[in-house]
Amino acid sequence: MTLPLLLLIQEAEHAVEAGGLPAPFQPTLGLVIWTWVVFIALLIVLAKFVYPGLVKMTADREATINQQLAEAKRLQAEAEAGLEEQRALLAAARGEAQAIVGEARDAAERERASAVARTRTEQEEILARAKQEIAAEGERAKAEMRREAVDLAIAAAGKVIGRQLDADADRTLVEDYLSEIGSQA
- Whole-model pTM: value is 0.38
Q: Rounded to an integer, what is the distance from CA 144 to the centroid of its chain? A: 74
C-beta separation of 71 from 77 below 8 A: no
Summarised one tens digit per residue, pLDDT across range 96-130 is 999 999 999 999 999 999 999 999 999 999 998 88
Of the candidates 131, 123, 173, 183, the residue with the CA atom closest to the CA atom of residue 149: 173
Summarised one tens digit per residue, pLDDT across range 3-16 is 776 776 777 666 65
> Higher model confidence: residue 131 or residue 30?
131
Summarised one tens digit per residue, pLDDT across range 29-69 is 777 888 899 999 999 999 999 899 899 999 999 999 999 99
pLDDT at residue 75 greater than cutoff 90: yes
What separation in angstroms does the CA of 163 have from each of 107, 155, 171?
Answer: 79, 10, 15
If you average pLDDT over each of 15-19, 141-145, 151-155, 172-176, which comes out highest?
141-145
State the pLDDT at residue 43.
93
Domain spans of the chain? 26-184
